[in-house]
Amino acid sequence: MIGIKIMNCCKRVLVTGATGLIGKELIEPLKEAGFDIFAITIDKNNPDNCVHWISGNLFDENSIKTVMEEVKPEYLLNMAWCTTGDYLSSDTNYKFLRAGISLLKYFKDNGGKRAVFAGTCFEYKFKDSSLKETDELDADKTVYTFCKNKLHEVAEFFCGMNNISFGYGRIFYVYGRNEDKTRLTGMIIDKLSRNEEVIIKSGKLYKDYMYAKDIAGAFVALLNSKVEGSVNICTGKAVSIKDFALEIGKQMGKENLIKFKDEPSNQPPIIVGDNSKLTKEVRYEYKLSLKDGVKLLMESLI
């Protein structure tokens, strides 16, 4: 037993990945939406922010079973995944796939009603126009996308067979607080903070960037809705990597340290999502422009 106090007056949600780049931004919108928040974590020290932090390991099925039996959440928000290092080819992806299926099994066994899982835009077959939820997929290109999409397929089928409402948010490009230094935003901030030159090799590529706080807000809105199936979590607008990097440099007062090369890239020239389903069905409008998002990011560094 994990010895936690259950509040019957609130909507009970179990969250995974609540300490991650997006996960840590989920807490406030979940509280505002009236959820009683339970979060599985392997971290020993977590902030006292009205969250029931539960020590557990997603890769341990008995741990998942115990948590589900005591919490008995009505809602499940599964954000946990590895997206740093060699994550595109790592065997750890298979562990997250298995953990996601186990979560659903014990969620169902304990009366769960609605689950929302996080996916990725990299599951799509890319094209030169906005990507829609009904577009063709090309998920077999990496272990990461294969496992994400396979979990989506299994989860959707499982939920349909067990009268569980299921939503799947496909995240496009994210930037936010304390981002890993191996990722673009973290790298730019780290180098500029040390007055080092930043070299951007393919500044002409266009991406759909969304601040982590907005992505979190979108996921909570999706969880709190009755919308089923895939939903693009994106702004619907593309910005060049050059302009993205320059906005960070400008707000750090070190724009002059950012240099650009025009090297060929094997990445698609543009990756942008159609967010019509997010805005019209989930009824979530993103709140932070690139300028405002970077401003919040800079404030978090102080």
pLDDT digits (tens, 9 = 90+) for 162-180: 999 999 999 999 999 999 9
pTM of the model: 0.95
| DSSP reduced 3-state for 156 | helix
Which pLDDT value is given to residue 1? 42
Question: Mapped to the 3 state alphabet, what secondary structure does 196-258 carry?
Answer: CCEEECECCCEECEEEHHHHHHHHHHHHCCCCCEEEEECCCCCEEHHHHHHHHHHHCCCHHHE
Q: Classify the phi-psi angles of 51: left when phi > 0, otherwise alpha if psi is within -120 to 50, otherwise beta.
A: beta
Q: Could you tell me the pLDDT band of residue 4, with boundaries at 50, 70 and 90? A: low
Lowest-confidence segment of 13-17, 47-51, 113-117, 149-153 by average pLDDT = 47-51
> CA 31, CA 224: separation in Å to the nearest integer?
12
Lowest-confidence segment of 45-54, 63-72, 103-112, 211-220 by average pLDDT = 45-54
> CA 30, CA 196: separation in Å to the nearest integer?
39
Query: What average pLDDT does the structure give for the chain?
Result: 94
Within 110-211, residue ranges assigned H as helices are 143-161, 184-193
pLDDT above 90 (res 302): no
| DSSP reduced 3-state for 171 | strand
Q: Could you tell me the pLDDT band of residue 7, with boundaries at 50, 70 and 90? A: low
Q: Are the C-beta atoms of residues 58 and 64 closer than 8 Å to each other?
A: yes
Tens digits of residue pLDDT in 112-159: 999 999 999 999 999 999 999 999 999 999 999 999 999 999 999 999
> CA 6, CA 270: separation in Å to the nearest integer?
47
| DSSP reduced 3-state for 8 | coil
> CA 107, CA 181: separation in Å to the nearest integer?
35
pLDDT above 60 (res 2): no
Q: Which of 145, 144, 93 is nearest to 123 (CA)?
A: 145
Tokens representing 268? Answer: 């698609």
Q: Are the C-beta atoms of residues 15 and 36 closer than 8 Å to each other?
A: no
Which pLDDT value is given to residue 92? 97
The stretch 83-87 carries a mean pLDDT of 91
Which pLDDT value is given to residue 8? 59
φ and ψ at residue 39, rounded to 5 degrees:
-130, 125
> CA 138, CA 129: separation in Å to the nearest integer?
16
Which pLDDT value is given to residue 221? 98
Q: Could you tell me the pLDDT band of residue 3, with boundaries at 50, 70 and 90? A: low
Q: Which residues contact 2 (CB under 8 A, 6 or more apart)?
A: 54, 55, 56, 66, 67, 70
CA quadruple 13, 16, 20, 24: dihedral, nearest 10: 10
Question: 181 or 46, which is more confident?
Answer: 181
